[in-house]
Structure 1
């Protein structure tokens, strides 16, 4: 055992850890490693660092010996155990996996990746998730870059499915936040007219010519499918409509006959991208999988063009005639899908349900991709349920009411109202449903005559529900309802005036007293004057909601210190034009910013100042969301730091 309280050389400790780790791994005895770590507790070095390096050194020795994949899995399992015991860093297992994948061939990597998939529950543990998520993402991306998307589709799919299981829905690294298209996915096809091949397809009385012109139109549509935003241009829209109608008409004319052959259905292949040779187009038009793929592309583009996407430009909006054309074409595509065997009707129904689900995901992204949390039921103590009173069955209640010549409507109040008069029209004409003036306004008159101040929440005259019923009753039974223009006075003041009149006309009042009549007239004039003043004040005074909303919006920008705001603008300045485009500024406005300020920092500061002042959605949260989508990481980090400072 080395002496305590002495400085130990890093390499010396690493070598000793490596020898102990080799023995512990060979004998499957982690206690040896634990005791060895305990012997170095009093050193000045962080023990985790040399032990982490010892793991990587021993792994390198194992890889040079060309051990089996099973041995490598056991070694990673050992590192997971040491992490849970606090002996090594939480990132150690994933670091080892990264070293293994960088060293082995793709065939062995595919076998080893099943270990990563099976242990996804371990990587999602609190101990590992925060430290390992970036390393796992880097590991998967490195594998995807090494793989071919056309020949290794299964392995690529496993990697993507693992990432979908590992990361939560709200993880920004897995989301296309700004709704950008993969413009690099181009489709190349022949443009040499000398190779023109003309084929004729006769179906019934119709003849379809598959020539070079049709071939070019067909594959040119792939460019619109790659970048649907071209359709918002007038010229490109006409080209898209013309080519689409030509292709859909050809599909409609060429009917497919599907042969139920066990040999054909057992070997269904998947092609990441179809071949574009003109010699194959005639055969492709008769292929079920090919036709369904093209028709599905049409539906996806149609849905995008008519959907509301947050990051679409304001100019990307279809006119009514364009929307009508898309609706008609969508119905035609679904009709073609239903006609395409096998089981076309069921296939079209499934596609429609899938696209409806896509609308929900689109709405979720428009809302800023809020985190989706699953609330698990809490384990509350089990209570012994009390014996419930046996309630009579509905059928028995109906039968009992029928024996009494009544109706049972399911609730006490409905049953009471219905049995007063089962004939609806006669019930509406009856007077039983209309209260008297004294009954309805009795409590309001008592509040008015008491002279004691009443809180707004207890004042019946300021209750909207009471006011609505009061106006309906006054219209039926009050002689003063049409003597005043209710639109010129707030409802509470108008009701106060009416209550005052009813209180004045109560029996027992001496109406012949001129002094009292004069006082009553003065009170009425004061009420009307206050109502007019209130109208004028309300007209010139903004609503409380408006003031509160503006104060909140301004407070969000005032909370930003000048020093921090300048730091954020400094990070934005190198790419402020890209940010300005996403914020909605047009090209001429961006040029105006440049002409007004010769320095890029001043240009960015001018733009951000106007955005905070003019845009209702201008706040740090939205700015962070946009910067992350544009991958302006330094600026996003500055905004995130400011948000954390404000919250703390």
Structure 2
């Protein structure tokens, strides 16, 4: 009996009901069970489920459901891709449908979902299948949005694309260094229609006389300081055409026009400098507090605003920054620039001089002009690196291994404990350096070494309070102000010592002390009654120091012998040759007690089959590793630990005979 054939109508009906239940319950398990029970191939069922997702989403959009239901369906499709019941492009198709059908205010919320799942889109499952869908979806959104009204939304889309695609993605690069020639600045080109020349005539016709002092200080300084006429207005806004298309500057006639207009505009900027007045500082601080951001979508070219624009610091920074960007292009090496576009020497000199003037003007514009100027210079210097990268064809930042290269062996970054811990009973730690190894292994147990009496630095009560007790005795007639208990440093150490060694510190008392010296003096009197009187046999500080010096010298003599002395005690080649013959077949028993690793033991076995030669190789390897620590005493200790007492006695006798 043949298996049942795939029925599109039946499959669509079952999958539709299961999808609606999954959206309501926010659980995909039932949908996966229905999918697995349907007859037919996996490809047929996947394509059917893709259609079902789009149909269910279409119903939600037509019924004007909330964005939550739409996002729930898209999330279900993402889970479906993970479970392998629908194609990887389905979530992106659903996102495109939603953004195409919903108004812009709802698209903002849908795009927030897209931003939050950027890590999902960049995963191996979704990236290759959906990157083109996401790019097309974002470009469609940008076409619908207004750059002046929806500035923040447009910026979010650009940032999302920057996070999604790698830096070397060619679709986001202006490889041929093309300019946006459609960005045309419209201004009044008819002098007869200009209102700048009619301003004084209108003031006279009004017949109104303005008394001195009626005009505000800001208006007076703005209108009288800058002589604005139509020629200045026309020349100023004509420069925007050069900023829009810098290639014109390579033409001699256009360059003369640009040079003339620029000198006049920069002269105006140099002659009329903006002041960091109290009012402007107050306004800037208010904007910082309120978190407002001033955005200029496009220059306003009204003649009535000309005087206000020239006195606006933000506007002036825009114009000067355009100059710097233009100069960088004219001087820079651009791969797709025509070979005819070459600057003359006089042009290069003028650009260098003017660049210094522009930076100087930027540093004089309040607020924080000097900081802003340095920041712009740093950004433009960084831009040179990007220009060089584009000229080289935008190579990938990821260095790929050559095809014919040998595979890299995986090595452990951090050594395992067995690499530096010995295998003998003493577990000698190998520090990689002879002196460090010797110092580390002075005491087998580091915790026991920390508990030694020689590391007890806390003085006794008798030693510490000896001077204070003497000063507290009335017979010694020490004035109060000269007593050691008045020293704050001494008081702090005295409290710590009392807390560790004196029971009086924790006993309750009815006395109230106003100061620490008063409390310590009381404690000193109590201790003087309990402690035995100092005898003549008590050593002075100098005697104690001398004794400590003697102990240190003896310790140095024991543990820090000179290299020459250690070199005289090491085993010699003749001793190794003689003892290897006696060791013979017992070499493998001794090896672990000489801190030899399994790898070294196997290597010795592979080098020779003669047991005497293996014993010699073992002793030589031990000598090379230990260096000056390869002494007969250490070898005898290892033999005794390995229960090779006869060989240990033999080596002891040989050593005594040699000495």
Shift of residue 390, structure 1, vs aligned partner: 8.4
How does 1:442-591 map onto structure 2 within 5 Å? none
Distance 1:64 1:202, change over 3 A: closer
Shift of residue 70, structure 1, vs aligned partner: 2.5
Shift of residue 43, structure 1, vs aligned partner: 4.5
The counterpart of 2:131, out of the listed 115, 133, 138, is 133
Equivalent residue, structure 1, for 2:337: 312
Number of residues of Structure 1 aligned to a counterpart in Structure 2: 389
Work out whether 1:389 is the aligned partner of 2:407. no
The counterpart of 1:105, out of the listed 94, 103, 106, is 103
The counterpart of 1:235, out of the listed 253, 272, 280, is 253
Distance 1:35 1:190, change over 3 A: same
Deviations 1:8-31 (A, max 9, x none): 333432222111111122122312
Deviations 1:528-562 (A, max 9, x none): xxxxxxxxxxxxxxxxxxxxxxxxxxxxxxxxxxx
Deviations 1:227-280 (A, max 9, x none): 101111111111111111111110111111232114455444111112000110
Work out whether 1:292 is the aligned partner of 2:317. yes
How does 1:416-435 map onto structure 2 within 5 Å? none
Equivalent residue, structure 2, for 1:60: 58
The counterpart of 1:321, out of the listed 336, 340, 346, is 346
Deviations 1:144-166 (A, max 9, x none): 00000111000000001101110
C-alpha distance in structure 2 between counterparts of 1:309 and 1:263, whole Å: 43
3-state SS of paired residue (1:113): helix
Distance 1:45 1:250, change over 3 A: closer
Q: 2:5–2:39: 8 Å Cα contact kept in structure 1?
A: no
How does 1:267-416 map onto structure 2 within 5 Å? 267-373=292-398, 380-384=412-416, 387-389=431-433
The counterpart of 2:281, out of the listed 235, 242, 260, is 260
Distance 1:374 1:21, change over 3 A: farther
C-alpha distance in structure 2 between counterparts of 1:340 and 1:361, whole Å: 29
Shift of residue 4, structure 1, vs aligned partner: 7.0
Equivalent residue, structure 2, for 1:121: 119
Deviations 1:309-332 (A, max 9, x none): 000000011111111110001000
Shift of residue 112, structure 1, vs aligned partner: 1.7
Gap runs ≥5 in structure 1: 393-648
Deviations 1:45-93 (A, max 9, x none): 6211110000000111112232222332222111111101111111111
Shift of residue 337, structure 1, vs aligned partner: 0.3
C-alpha distance in structure 2 between counterparts of 1:82 and 1:177, whole Å: 39
Deviations 1:555-585 (A, max 9, x none): xxxxxxxxxxxxxxxxxxxxxxxxxxxxxxx
3-state SS of paired residue (2:23): helix
Distance 1:44 1:274, change over 3 A: closer
Equivalent residue, structure 2, for 1:623: none
C-alpha distance in structure 2 between counterparts of 1:380 and 1:156, whole Å: 48
C-alpha distance in structure 1 between counterparts of 2:313 and 2:28, whole Å: 59
3-state SS of paired residue (2:227): strand
C-alpha distance in structure 2 between counterparts of 1:338 and 1:4, whole Å: 86
3-state SS of paired residue (2:281): coil
3-state SS of paired residue (2:176): coil
Equivalent residue, structure 2, for 1:32: 30
Instruction: State the Cα RMSD in Å.
Output: 2.7
Shift of residue 6, structure 1, vs aligned partner: 3.2
Q: 1:196–1:211: 8 Å Cα contact kept in structure 2?
A: no
C-alpha distance in structure 2 between counterparts of 1:268 and 1:30, whole Å: 45
Deviations 1:478-500 (A, max 9, x none): xxxxxxxxxxxxxxxxxxxxxxx
Deviations 1:620-641 (A, max 9, x none): xxxxxxxxxxxxxxxxxxxxxx
Equivalent residue, structure 1, for 2:183: 185
C-alpha distance in structure 2 between counterparts of 1:42 and 1:10, whole Å: 10
TM-score (norm 2): 0.56
Equivalent residue, structure 1, for 2:621: none
Deviations 1:590-637 (A, max 9, x none): xxxxxxxxxxxxxxxxxxxxxxxxxxxxxxxxxxxxxxxxxxxxxxxx
C-alpha distance in structure 1 between counterparts of 2:195 and 2:63, whole Å: 59
Gap runs ≥5 in structure 2: 201-218, 401-407, 421-429, 437-659
C-alpha distance in structure 2 between counterparts of 1:379 and 1:227, whole Å: 56
C-alpha distance in structure 2 between counterparts of 1:348 and 1:308, whole Å: 24
The structure 1 segments of at least 4 consecutive aligned residues displaced by more than 6 Å after TM superposition are 199-204
Equivalent residue, structure 1, for 2:171: 173
3-state SS of paired residue (1:46): helix
C-alpha distance in structure 1 between counterparts of 2:435 and 2:168, whole Å: 48
3-state SS of paired residue (1:178): coil
C-alpha distance in structure 1 between counterparts of 2:349 and 2:434, whole Å: 59
Distance 1:268 1:162, change over 3 A: closer
Distance 1:294 1:38, change over 3 A: same
The counterpart of 1:220, out of the listed 227, 238, 242, is 238
Q: 1:124–1:166: 8 Å Cα contact kept in structure 2?
A: yes
Deviations 1:326-368 (A, max 9, x none): 0001000000000001111110000000001110000010010
Distance 1:391 1:98, change over 3 A: farther
Distance 1:330 1:188, change over 3 A: same
C-alpha distance in structure 1 between counterparts of 2:307 and 2:262, whole Å: 18
Q: 1:338–1:348: 8 Å Cα contact kept in structure 2?
A: yes
3-state SS of paired residue (1:347): helix
Distance 1:13 1:333, change over 3 A: same
| Farther-moved stretch of structure 1 (68-77 vs 214-223) | 68-77
TM-score (norm 1): 0.57
Shift of residue 202, structure 1, vs aligned partner: 9.1
Distance 1:355 1:20, change over 3 A: same
C-alpha distance in structure 1 between counterparts of 2:58 and 2:140, whole Å: 20
